[in-house]
């Protein structure tokens, strides 16, 4: 009988909270998207996605 190696995965949301001083919410969102500092990241295990096959 053949043996198969199956890769499975799930999506794990990672988020951060940042405070940005800006004239508009749109400008603050653009600042957040351009911010490369992820030192304060948090992993949201409670909101992870369903397990699915990604390779065989």
Nearest-angstrom CA–CA distance, 10 and 54: 9
What pLDDT is attached to residue 55? 95
Residue 33 has φ and ψ, to the nearest 5°, of -65, -30
One digit per residue, the tens of pLDDT, for the chain of length 56 reads 999 999 999 999 999 999 999 999 999 999 999 999 999 999 999 999 999 999 99
Q: So what's the pLDDT on residue 7?
A: 96
Interatomic CA distance for residues 15 and 31, integer angstroms? 15
According to the model, what pLDDT value does residue 48 have? 95
Angstrom CA distances, 40 to 7, 9, 10, 32, 37, stand at: 30, 24, 22, 13, 8
């Amino acid at each position: 009988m053949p043996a198969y190696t199956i890769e499975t995965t799930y999506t794990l949301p990672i988020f951060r909270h940042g405070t940005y001083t800006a004239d508009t919410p749109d400008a603050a969102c653009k600042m957040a998207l351009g911010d490369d500092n992820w030192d304060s990241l948090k992993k949201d295990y409670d909101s992870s996605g369903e397990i699915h096959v990604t390779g065989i």
